[in-house]
Structure 1
Amino acid sequence: MEDEQRLDGVGLNIQAVNIEVDDDFRDRIVQSLGKLRRYYSGDVIIAEVYMREEAHPGPNEKSLRIRCGVPGTEVFAEESGQNWDAMLNDVTAKLKRQLEHKFANSQNSYRNR
């Protein structure tokens, strides 16, 4: 499944392999990325979400990857596990730390206050 949307002018592409993403979880993804946008408005150009569930069960059968394109480079975070919501929270936190580090000494430093 592939779903392309726009999130406040940011291209949002959600790809899911071996699973069907329901509207509720799609909304949680948009909310999580929206929180990043509040702190880094105008800097994120595109967000790509890649979700995969392995065909055979195991301890890390699910994986979630998010790539955010920002000027100059991109930030990327991934997590594997069993719970989509926990992985989404972890990936969002990793992205936030990367964005804070990237923009801490730039014209966007006022956003970290």
Structure 2
Amino acid sequence: MKKINDFQMLLTQEITNLDRFIIKAPLGTNEFWSQWQEKAGQIVITKAAIKKALKIYKGKLPEEEIAKLQAVLDSYREIASYLELLRETALRLKGVSSDNWDIFDSIEDDDEIEF
């Protein structure tokens, strides 16, 4: 039997953590929109929490922590793109044309996250 290395364990953990963002309801249903709103809200709240933590600890975080936070933000940016693609697809199925909108970056960014 092959031994699982640290990288494989981390990757499995990350996939499990991010799996909660998969929307399983059929596109355009009320359940879909409810799940979509919940997951989009989680992204908005996570970004706000990271921004606040970085403001409070500006200049006091070790490089390793900064790298972890950047990786988290990158993951959430990818998830936001997935959610946006689903939103646009669901709206198009209803015959509604929508502008490209970015859940992650459309949150007020008057003081952008600085690492």
* Shared fold, TM over 0.5: no
Q: TM-score, length-normalised on structure 1?
A: 0.32
- Which one scores higher on RCO, CA 8 angstroms, separation ≥ 6? 2
More strand as a share of residues:
1
Mark the structure with the bigger radius of gyration: 2
More helix as a share of residues:
2
Q: TM-score, length-normalised on structure 2?
A: 0.31
